[in-house]
Chains A and B, each alone.
Chain A
Amino acid sequence: MAERLSRPAAGVLAALVAVPLLALVVRAFADEWRAPALVPQQFGLRGVEVAFSGSSGEAFGNSLVVALAAAALALLLAWPAARVLGERRLRHPAPVFLLLAMPLLVPSYAVGTGLTEWFIRLDLDGTLPALVAGHLTFVLPYVILVLLSGFGPRLTALEEVAQVNGLSPLRRMLWVTLPAAAPTVGAAALIGFLVSWSDYGTSLAVGGGRPMLPVVLLPFVGADPQVAATLALLFLAPAVAVLALAVRAGRMPL
């Protein structure tokens, strides 16, 4: 019975997500759409031409590099932290959690402004490493929190099985730990990527004028809805791709 109900329910959910996206696609290719018409008077590629005439291409590349680097670095840094916290090896974990969450309590623009001062001193302002470092401040807590959900006694128990079955530390990592933690790692990577990809405040503060997709997109919202819709679709593309990858990883059982 539950399965019979779940199919239509999934259809409704998919429609709820897809219909606004469809509207976005129509808007992106509507060269002329005057009220009160329900459908555009003229379709065309003006939105694409304007969107790509400026710095959006470069912004797309910058955002992609920064988000991938921030997510990857965050995973590397979060792994040992989440293991220590997940296995309850700390006597007083509460202050550590508080420290981890602190960047999330402050607006990202404020964090970015504070960091910019230091990046100027270090002659790093506006560089990609500075943007990655800026994004890491709030990507890292999210990634740690997601990884924590998959780390703990269960993973340790499987690693003990690996040990008593003669697996060396490297093989244990490759054959047992990573496959068993893959869905959690996939989810953490997705969150890390999306948090960085959609960041506006830090990118604006630390970027020093370097184009990043959310920063480029914002001025068009309201001013030119067609270009904004085109950029929004561009903005969604890697997020959907990463989501698809994460879902694939998530299908592998923990």
Chain B
Amino acid sequence: MNGYELDCRDLSVSPGGSPVLRELSLTISAGSRTALVGPSGAGKTTLLRAISGLQPIETGAILLGGEPIHQRAVHRRAIAVVFQEPRLLPHLDVQDNVALALRAAGVGRSERRRLAGAQLEEVGLGGRAKQRVQGLSGGEQQRVALARALCADPRLLLLDEPLAALDPNRRAALRRVIVELQQRRRLTTVIVTHDHSEAAELGQQIALMLEGRIVQHDEPRALFERPVSAAVARFFGVANLIPEGSDTLAIRPEHVRLSRDGGLRGTVVEAVYAGDHVRVAIDSDGQRLHAHVAPPDAPRAGEQVGVILPDEHLWRLPSGRSGDAAEVADG
């Protein structure tokens, strides 16, 4: 089973009059797994709803496997969606929830229950087929929702923050299930999350969305270490943006080193213990710099330190792209 390429071209959507998607273009290669990230209100859910057809688009086109689908009815698009909340049908048991799309496709009862059972095995819920959905935990319900989406044998799988309501352990477990199943099926998959480290784990590619547009779409490392703009840098935690002439240099705080002597001189203005590291803020000639330091080596507030910015980790932002820092003021 090979995936289909998803191609969104110049999508504009303004539900209620205010623009949410602004001529957004995004291409996702067949059989790949892409994490769609962005701050709240960036339009991630709206994009997923537009692709699935739940949100009508005003302009643009959506192609799946080369075929335009944006004028097709939702139930004819063969796109499965896992929503943030499991949305299980309360009047059906687990297996009939999973087999919903098979029933719509006219598959006979015994065959669809067999297929649903096999799908439940895949998400780690074998033996729960006949259970009522109300008796399941939040994580189990979300697995049923995932099984239901996969059982539909879709051309494209969209997951809208499927882990948001789960605790950290269940998140990690379900993350593994999603990645394994996607790899096995090579199903083109888009996963929305607002957590950039989760995006790095889930996506072979990450697409960052800001104010209704995709601002960078690349492999995870590129977004963390080679951001195309200050806004992208800030969203991915590149806390140091240092002006150099008309350019801006960017460096991640975990790559900044502190020394007693040497480097740029500065005063520690803040040192916050964060478990596995200490977040240190340094004022160097009016320039605020940030470093993550191992707790035993961390300086105290008020101390004079030297700041070393290793050349191999310094990244020069493409010129003309540093002025959009305000885009992600809360990023």
Contact = CB atoms under 8 A, between A and B. Distances in A.
Interface of A: 157-158, 160-168, 171-172, 175-176, 179-180, 182, 252-254
A166 B104 contact: yes
Given A164-B79, A176-B89, 17 more contacts: A158-B87, A160-B83, A160-B87, A161-B100, A162-B100, A164-B54, A164-B74, A164-B75, A165-B101, A165-B104, A166-B78, A166-B104, A167-B100, A168-B75, A179-B89, A180-B91, A254-B90
A253 B90 contact: yes
Contacts of A254: 90
B85 A165 contact: no
Interface string B44-67: 000000001110000000000000
Interface SS majority for chain A: helix
A172 B83 CA distance: 18
A180 B89 contact: yes
Interface in B268-297: none
Given A164-B79, A167-B104, A253 B74 contact: no
Nearest to A176: B89
A201 B199 CA distance: 66
Interface in B76-95: 76-81, 83, 85, 87, 89-91
Contacts of B104: 165-168, 171
A84 B85 CA distance: 23
Contact of B87 (A157, A167, A171, A182): A157
Contacts of B81: 160, 164
B101 A166 contact: yes
Nearest to A179: B91
Contact of B52 (A164, A167, A179): A164
Which of A163, A172, A254 has most B Cβ within 10 Å?
Answer: A163
Given A171-B104, A253-B134, A164 B89 contact: no
B152 interface: yes
Contacts of A166: 75-76, 78, 101, 104-105, 152
B148 interface: yes
Interface size range on B against A? 20 to 34
Contacts of A252: 91
B148 A253 contact: no
A182 B134 CA distance: 17
A158 B89 contact: yes
Interface in B144-162: 148, 152
Contacts of A160: 54, 81, 83, 87
A209 B225 CA distance: 87
A139 to B, nearest CB: 27
Contacts, number: 64
A63 to B, nearest CB: 33
A182 to B, nearest CB: 8
Contacts of B79: 164
Interface in B10-67: 52-54
B146 to A, nearest CB: 13
Nearest to A167: B104
B91 A157 contact: no
A157 B148 contact: no
Report, nearest first, the 8 A-B pairs whose CB atoms are least far apart: A163-B74, A165-B101, A166-B104, A179-B91, A164-B81, A165-B100, A253-B90, A161-B87
Nearest to A253: B90
A167 B30 CA distance: 26
A157 B85 CA distance: 9
12 contacts: A158-B89, A161-B87, A163-B54, A163-B74, A164-B79, A164-B152, A165-B104, A165-B148, A166-B75, A166-B105, A182-B91, A252-B91
Nearest to A161: B87
Contacts of B75: 162-168, 172
Contacts of A162: 75, 100
A164 B90 CA distance: 17
A178 to B, nearest CB: 10
A107 to B, nearest CB: 41
B91 A253 contact: yes
A171 B100 CA distance: 11
Contacts of B148: 161, 165
A172 B79 CA distance: 17
A163 to B, nearest CB: 4
